[in-house]
Structures are given as C-alpha cells and as structure tokens.
Amino acid sequence: MIRQQDLGDGVAALLYACDGALNTLDASLNRELGERIDALLADDGVKGIVIGSDKPDFIAGGDLKELQAAPDPASVVAIVAPFLAALRKIEKGGKPVVAALPGTALGGGLELALACHQRIAADNASARFGFPEATLGLMPGAGGTQRLPRLIGIAAAAPMLLDGTRLSLADAVTRKLIDQVVAPADLLETAKQWALANPGATQPWDRKGFAAPGFAVQSAAGRQFFAGAWARASRGAGASNLAARAILECLQQGMERSLEAGIVIETRQFARLAAGNDAKNKIRTLFNGVNRARSMTMRPSGPPPSTVGHLAVIGGGVMGRGIAHVAALAGLQVTLLDLSDEAARKSRDEIARNATREHEKGRLRMTPQALLSRIEPTADYARIAQADFVLEAVFERADVKQAVLERAAAVVGRDVPIASNTSTMPITGLAGYATMPERVIGLHFFSPVDRMPLVEVIRARQTSDATLARALDLMKQLGKTPVVVNDGLGFFTSRIVTTYSSETLNLIGEGVPPQLIDNAAVNAGFAIGGAALAELTTMPLLADILKSMRGDGQRIANAGNRAEPTLAALLALGRIGKAAGKGLYDYGPEGRAVWPGLALAFPPAGDPLDEETVRQRLFAVQSLEAVRALDDGILGQALDGDVAAVLGWGYPVHLGGVFGYIDRVGVPAFIAQCESLAARFGARFDPPRRLRDMAAAGQTFYPDEATR
Ligand code: NAD
C-alpha cells in the first residue's frame, strides 16, 4: 500500500509501505499510485508532492511472480499501463513532484524516481541505483530505457541497462542521476522545501529545444556505438540474450523519437520479453531458484545457528587455495595444510600473488596483507587440532583421501564437521574412514572458487542434521549458493557434465568435426563448446573422469557410447590437449587449426550429421541423465538441478536448465526426439519411465507458471 502523509504547507507525501522487508511494485500498487496522483493533482490545496518510502530503502523493483504468471503480452501491458500513465501525469501534471530516496531504488523504483522533477537521496552508503532487469532476461518497462539515456546520455545509460550495473550513491551523483544528498533525518523536509521553491517544475525532455547529453543516434559516434553494441549482442552466447537486443532496439529507435513514441516502442518490447520463455526461465532459475538456495531452506531447523572461526583446509592446490582465499576474505582464520611446510608455504605464496593481482584491479575488498594474515601454512596436523571445520581438497585418489580423513578425524574435536571437495567419489564410502562418520559431508566447490557461486552440498547416508546445518551455515558465511543433493557416483553436477563430455567425445569418434560440435553448443547458448572444453581439461584427465564415472559398467548413460575408446585412440596418437599444443586441434603461431590426422583416425561413420542433430544429442544426454538422477533420489526437486546446471557448468540460462529444457521442448516432443535418437545412436537416449508417465498425465516439471 501507499501511505499518504501531509507534510504541511500544501505538500503531500506518498510513502510506499508494502508488507515485508522491501517495497515491490505490482498491478494493484500501480493502480493505487495512479488514483492518488490523480486526486492530488486535482486538489487545489496541494502545491507539491513528495514520493518516498516508509522503509530503509525506496523500491526494489517489480513483483517478478506476477510477471512470471502473465501468459501473454497483453497481460503484461495490463500490469504496467497504469504505472506508465501515472509517471507521465507526474511529469506533466503541473505540480512539482520530488522523489525522496532513503536508500536503494532499482528497476521500477528507479523509473518512478526518474519521472520525478527532482531526486533527493538520503546519505546511505548501502544504497544502490540501477536496472537489474536484463540479468533476468527482462528490461525496464516503465520508461527506463527512454528517460535514463535522455538524462545521462546513451553511452552511460547502455551498461546500466544491458549489464544491470548498479551504482553507489556517489556514482549516481557523479552521473547526475541524483540531484541532492542530505542527512536521512532531513530527507522529507528538504524534498518539501524543493517542491515549494519550484512550483513550475518540468522535465528537461518536455522543454523546447531539448537535446539529450552525449551523442545522437545518427551521429558518427552514435553509429559506431550501435554497430559495436549490436555485434556484441549477436555473437556467440550473446545471441541467445533477447533482452540485450530488445534494449538496443529501444535505445536506437526510441532516442530518435519523442519520449512518448519511445515509450510505445519500449512497452511493445517489454511485453514481448516478459511474456516469453527466456525471461520466465531466467526468473525461475536465477531468481526463485537461487534465492531459495541462498535462503537455506534445506537447513535442518533443529541445530542452533553456528559460525566457523577457524577453518582447516587440507591440500593447497587449485581448489584448496581458492577455498582458503574465500574463507580468509570472509573473516575466517584458515590453516592451510599440505604435504610439507614448503608445499604449504608455496601454496600461500600463490594466494598472495593472486590477491595482489585482484587488489591492483580493485577487486579485493581488503589489502592482500590483511587477507594473508589470516592464512597459516603448515604440514603439521597438530596445528588444526583447534579448527571448528575441516575441508579436504587433496588429490582425487581414494587412498589419499581416506588417509587424510583418518588423520584429520584423529586430531580435531569429535563433533567437528569434516568435508570433502571430491568431484566424483561417493561421500558415504569416504565417511567410513573418519571416526563419527555422521560428521562427514561433501562440499563440492567449483573453479575458480572466488568467482563461482555454486557449492554442491552432498549429504551422505550417515551425515547428521547437525553436520548439514553447520555446513550450510559455513556456506552462508562464505556467501556461496548451496544446492543440497544426496550421495551417489558424481552426485549431480559431475554426473551430468560427464554425459555431456562423453557425448562430445563420442561424436568425435563418429567423425563429426570439432567445430561443428562447438558451434552447436555455442549457438545454443553455452559459453564454450564440449570439444574446446575437452581440449582444456586434457584428454588424460578426461579419460580418468570417464573411467571413474563408469560405475558398474552397466549404466544406461553409457549404452552405445564409444567415448572411452575414442579417448584411448587420441592418447595413443599423442593428442593430449591444448596445453600440449596437440589435441583435436593443432596450435601454432597462426592460431589453431583442426588436426589433419583427426579425419583419418575417425573417418565419418555414415551420412554427415547436421548441427541440429548434434545439438539435440548434446542437450538430450544431459536432460535424460538429470531425470535419472531425480529418479535415483539424488535431487530433491527439479529446480535444484536447474540452478546447479546454470551456476555449475554454464548451461544456457535462457533455457532454465536441464529440466527447463524438457519443458521448453515439451515433454511429448522431447520423448519423440529421444526415441528417434535412441533408434539411430543407442539406448542411452531411451526416455525414462517418469517422462512417459508425465506425458500421459499431461504434466510438466514447472506446472505453476504461464509458459507459451
Ligand atoms: P591439485 O592437484 O591442484 O591439488 C592437490 C593438493 O593436495 C596439492 O597441493 C597436493 O600437494 C596436496 N596433497 C596431496 N596429498 C596430500 C596429503 N596427503 N596431505 C595434504 N595435502 C596433500 O588438485 P585440485 O584441482 O585442487 O583438486 C583437489 C580436489 O578438488 C580433488 O578432489 C578434485 O577432484 C576436486 N575438485 C577439483 C576441481 C577443479 O576444477 N580443479 C573442481 C571441483 C573439485
């Protein structure tokens, strides 16, 4: 609701006061704003209007649930139309209207502020101003793409609109987004005085002779800007970003026209985007799914909240270093234990180099010295005796891990959780090597640890509620997004990624050119294709992974797949990968070229495959294995799998994830595709029973949304 308050001297305040911690805009609130603005404009006793908030922040944006449920563009327009009309009345109603911003204003909140004649902000270091819509496949839909560039110029507006960059208060003032900053206690009074002092306030774009700052669309600078921006939005994975293209369209077309005409263009683009699948998929996975994971809904409620003061990290390799870095950054004391004092010291030195680089780029929020002062390198287990959480990241070898777990369990307190960062080994087996196996859990981080938000939390058969709770409390301390899964070979992420790598290698073995495989993945939204990824992983490591993921050898995922013999043949021919300069490609001073021996080693089997068949195969193996993992009880629900896919291995977010993909294709159509693939390429494409049952019952994985 909006609370109306009389500020005296003929100035009225409209203060947003939603239930809950944040103000979010929805259809009923939009209508209420329109009615209140109409009434205040019609009231001769009212000289000015202040729009503010009853909460520490202004407005966090629109209600995404409402948008997600909108089945078609017309329903989207019905939500925003009253808001759009109210904003234009604010601008042209003949009375001064001031935005009084106590804190953050995002999305629709910032659009409302931009429609006011003056923006006054309270001095608030945590306030942020921006348009995060594009990160969820959306775009501003209430004039943001038109008023922002008219206020600060196209060049400054574009990154805010396209990348969702959020400005601090200081930056917002520099960019002239905010006109004044005052002490929080003076906010409403200053806004009132401005209204009284500026009875004839108008918007710059409603004045005669208005020209937006910066370049015009049709100037040389404008043409150059748009040529570059369109090229970026149409290349590789960017091509699947519909929001970026819609925003560019609004900027380019709208800025050549009047504000009103620009807003008509924006409304059309916004309604189409918001009603479309891409935005609904992104909102579901990146907003609903990630928020659910980060709010720790999987944490057992019994155990009391805990914090880790002293973390022991065993193994100072790529992962151990990353984990130590992130933990020290979060304020934990870290003991970094490796095979020798020297190895541990070297590992800490490497963290120091990385921290210095990050600091120089302005990306570290403390000095490298402060960070390193929290990390103690050692080879002595006695140094971890007081730790309140242990995490091992030693070599991926069962005997090494078992020995480490035994030693750690012998020195730390009996109730101290011990986590393994293994990427494939079932935790239930490892746990037996620690006294009190109920304290053992899997915490599968992703590389690079400081940039990858996902941690797959693996609950082994013995893992206690207390251990799970403490592991999730640690994830909160480290600012990670945990997805909790049950134990099994490869858990969820490694299990699915393996099918993707393995299908890629199988295609190579059938004589499909690596560029075709990579194009199929990149054109569908993957940042990097499977063949390029295999080159980076290296063929020997990939061979190890496929071997360890083979399980009992009877897994349906492998039926008819010849990835392992293909890898063996590549290795026998000395084709190791990119680092060795010899893989699927040759790497020379002129760049890379497909290794001519590839076609001889793997002559095409039958008719050449087209890109669409290759794409279907790469996507089907992942989704099918995900459904099998759901059947096996590895996942609690499909949404967890989609969050893990998008955050864990860069699955195209506009598809939602491995389960969202099946809904997108349609369950019956997906089954038909898989049947045809199974007939041509092997039983690994056989659709599981669950899918057939779903098709028979007309079910989908995400039934509660409007999808078209
Ligand atoms: P790495 O080879 O870079 O580092 C392993 C480190 O462990 C080395 O510093 C080594 O000296 C140390 N070590 C080995 N045995 C030890 C012992 N007995 N006691 C103490 N230290 C010992 O390996 P990594 O890439 O950091 O991987 C570590 C673990 O994380 C593995 O289980 C791996 O599967 C998993 N993992 C790796 C990645 C990745 O992308 N690299 C991602 C997720 C999980």
d(Cα 417, Cα 463) in Å, to the nearest integer?
10
Nearest CA owner, ligand 1 atom 40: 447
Domains belonging to the chain, first-starting first, are: 2-275 (3.90.226.10), 310-488 (3.40.50.720), 494-697 (1.10.1040.50)
The per-residue pLDDT for 706 is 58
Neighbours of 238 (CB within 10 A): 14
CA 361–ligand 1 middle distance (angstroms)? 28
Q: Tell me which residues have their CB closer than 6 angstroms to ligand 1.
A: 314-320, 337-339, 343, 393-396, 400, 404, 421-423, 444-447
CA–CA distance, 32 with 12 (Å, rounded to integer):
15
Report the C-alpha gap between 151 and 148 in whole angstroms.
5
**Contact status, residue 424 vs residue 548, Cβ threshold 8 Å:** yes
Would strands 389-392 and 418-420 be described as parallel, antiparallel, or unpaired?
A: parallel
pLDDT of residue 234: 86
Pocket test residue of 313, 314, 318, 495 for ligand 1, highest count of atoms within 8 A of CB? 318
The DSSP bridge pattern shows strands 481-486 and 454-459 to be parallel
Residue to probe by mutation, ligand 1, list 423, 430, 492, 547, most atoms within 8 Å of CB: 423
Handedness of CA 506, 512, 515, 518 (dihedral sign): negative
Q: Which atom of ligand 1 is nearest to the CA of 343?
A: 11
| 365 C-alpha to ligand 1 centroid (Å) | 27
Asked if the peptide bond before residue 703 counts as cis, ω within 30 degrees of 0, the response is: no
pLDDT of 516 reads 97
Helix (H) or strand (E) run with residue 365 in it: none
Which three-class secondary structure string do you get for 18-41? CCCCCCEECHHHHHHHHHHHHHHH
d(CA 103, CA 376): 40
pTM of the model: 0.92
Q: Rounded to the nearest whole angstrom, what is the distance from the C-alpha of residue 394 to the centroid of ligand 1? A: 4
Atom of ligand 1 minimally distant from the CA of 320: 26
* In contact, 640 and 655? CB cutoff 8 Å: no
Answer yes or no: are the C-beta atoms of 324 and 336 closer than 8 Å: yes
User: What atom of ligand 1 comes closest to residue 319's alpha carbon?
Assistant: 26
353 burial class (0-12, 13-18, 19+ CB within 10 angstroms)? exposed
Joined tokens for residue 488: 């099994």
Mean pLDDT for each 10-residue chunk of the chain (708 residues)?
A: 97 96 95 98 98 98 92 95 98 98 98 98 97 95 98 96 95 96 98 97 96 96 96 79 94 97 98 94 95 95 97 98 98 98 98 96 92 98 98 95 97 97 94 95 97 97 98 98 97 96 97 96 93 93 91 86 96 95 92 93 91 98 98 96 97 96 97 98 97 97 72
- DSSP β-bridge partners for residue 390: 312, 418
Q: What is the rounded CA–CA span in Å between residue 130 and residue 409? A: 48
Separation of alpha carbons 133 and 269, rounded Å: 13
* Cα separation, 117 vs 134, whole angstroms: 26
Helix intervals (H) in 485-609: 493-509, 514-523, 530-537, 539-548, 563-572, 597-601
User: Taking the C-alpha atoms of 591, 597, 602 and 604 in order, what is their torsion angle to the nearest 10 degrees?
Assistant: 80
Report the distance separating Cα 120 and Cα 360, nearest Å.
34
- State in Å: Cα 371 to ligand 1 middle: 22
**Atom of ligand 1 lying closest to residue 396 CA:** 32
Write out the DSSP string of 260-296: HHHHHHHHHHHHHHHHSHHHHHHIIIIIIIHHHHHTT
